[in-house]
Amino acid sequence: MKNIIITGGAGFIGSHVVRLFVNKYSEYHIINVDVLTYAGNLENLSDIENAPNYTFERVDIVDAEAVDILFDTYKPEGVIHLAAESHVDRSIKDPLAFVRTNILGTVNLLNSFKRIHSDFEGKRFYHISTDEVYGTLGREGLFEETTSYDPNSPYSASKASSDHFVRAYGETYGIPYIVTNCSNNYGQNQFPEKLIPLFINNIVEEKPLPVYGDGQYTRDWLYVVDHARAIDLVYHEGKHGETYNIGGFNEWTNLDLIKVLCAQMDEKLNREKGSSLKLITYVKDRPGHDRRYAIDATKINTELGWAPSVSFEEGLAITIDWYLSNSDWLKNVTSGTYQDYYENMYAKR
């Protein structure tokens, strides 16, 4: 049985990847490594927690000694690295937390992977990153794999640095690596600091919907299950040393997305049409806010045959239904310190 470590597996994207690999590959032993920060939740994986090919290890990747012990214990043939601090607003408040986890944590994993293997045949280190490393686009154009890095936030700078370290370890030490850069994800189990679950929760509770600036910031959106499918495909069929952009060719301005979300929520909650739109509240803009992200996913489509399988409207409906049906999950993750964070980030703007 092959041992594969998936870091950040209790988080939003990671939990979907862990579930897919555990259910699909009985010949793999999946070791889910997560420190369980505010955004990590083992409830996300309650359906597979007793699977015979699944193990959870609570390890902080910033702790080099703990990472060494982990790798000595399991001797993983593969690493799928998703663990990261990922919220831009939080990175502006506390950049060092992002430096520690996203940069130092990645280097610790690379060092341990390098140390336990004298031969990299059949081994793979797969690093999941973000489209935000490319910076911002104008009205035209798409991010390609060859686009120069130009990060504008502490978060994107930390991810850009981690990407560079993965490539540097590949070139210097021969670690077989792959990097993917993905657009905005949405779906079940996403922590409600991100736009879609935040607004679903606020609409239910009839709280203001905080919109940065003029609401015309544009993002490409991808359903998280489609991202997990792409990660599966890249891990097994991607070429060593390559970068693949993953995106949905699905651009929305924040304001247009919010209008679609409000319309679906009004219908599902049996509220008067347009009532949720009245909750929109424009707030002070985020410093260094990138105007537009848009991914060119041609390479992964043509070389590996991947394409999104779920339309945005369909994925959004599934997502809304999940949050409305899992109010206990939402209450659990939004209790305690989350309320202080929310007040500080949005209510006081």
Please state the separation of Cα 231 from the chain's center in Å: 12
According to the model, what pLDDT value does residue 288 have? 79
State whether residue 49 is helix, strand or coil: coil
According to the model, what pLDDT value does residue 38 have? 86
Q: Which domains does the chain have, with CATH numbers?
A: 2-186+221-246 (3.40.50.720), 195-218+251-292+311-336 (3.90.25.10)
pLDDT along the chain (349 residues), means of 10: 97 98 99 94 95 98 99 99 93 96 99 97 98 95 97 97 99 98 97 93 95 93 98 98 97 96 96 95 87 96 98 96 92 68 53
State whether residue 243 is helix, strand or coil: strand
According to the model, what pLDDT value does residue 290 have? 87
According to the model, what pLDDT value does residue 162 have? 99
Is the backbone of residue 8 left (phi > 0), alpha (psi -120 to 50) or beta?
Answer: left
Catalytic residue ranges: 131-132, 155
170: tokens are 């590949």
Please state the separation of Cα 298 from the chain's center in Å: 21
| Residue 33 CB neighbours (<10 A) | 28
Is the backbone of residue 270 left (phi > 0), alpha (psi -120 to 50) or beta?
Answer: left
**CA-to-CA distance for 35 and 50, rounded, in angstroms?**
19
